Amino acid sequence: MDMRKKLWMVMVCLGLILGLVAVSQAGRYKKETICQAQEALKTLGYYQGEITGTLDASTTEAIKAFQKEKGLIVDGMPGPKTRKALKAALEEKKAKEAQPTEEQPTAQPESTEKPTEKAE
């Protein structure tokens, strides 16, 4: 075989192996865990899909984006550290939403008095 064919075969094999590893990793998470991650990611604005409990491509990409922003290992899996960070981010968001906003002074209505009419 020439070098190109060998290199191509190696790349195909690596792709298959990495694909199998990803599938086996995805299978180790319960549907409930994935649903919780999807709900949290959706609330935080990382995920726009349906809550399916399936670790599909859009869920994995949302997890990766969250992990990258939070300085976690970016693997696209909802592992314990990622779930803990999701929980903390949700709590932080809820706390910010619960804070009262500064009240703006209300404008006083202008006088509604009608000008007096002069009798002729």
- What pLDDT is recorded for position 100? 77
Whether residue 86 contacts residue 66, with contact meaning beta carbons closer than 8 Å, is answered with yes
Please, are residues 73 and 98 in contact by the beta-carbon 8 Å criterion?
no
Distance CA 38, CA 98 (A): 23
Find the farthest-apart pair of alpha carbons in the chain and give their distance in angstroms, rounded.
115
Residue the block writes with tokens 């298959």: 16
Residue 64 falls inside a structural domain: yes
pLDDT in tens, 10-57: 777 666 665 555 554 557 899 999 999 999 999 999 999 999 999 999
Answer whether residue 44 is part of any domain: yes
- Report if residue 1 sits inside a domain: no
Name the band, by pLDDT with cuts 50, 70 and 90, for residue 63: very high
Assess if residue 6 is contained within a domain.
no
Question: Could you tell me the residue range of the domain that residue 84 belongs to?
Answer: 29-97
Tell me the whole-structure pTM to 2 decimals: 0.63
CATH number at residue 35: 1.10.101.10
Work out whether the CA dihedral 100, 101, 104, 106 comes out positive or negative: negative
How many structural domains is the chain composed of?
1
Would 53 be classed as within a structural domain? yes
What pLDDT is stored for residue 75 in this prediction?
Answer: 96
User: What share of residues in the chain are helix, strand, coil (percent, to 5)?
Assistant: 60, 0, 40
Q: Is there a domain that residue 56 lies in? A: yes
**Range 80-104 average pLDDT:** 90
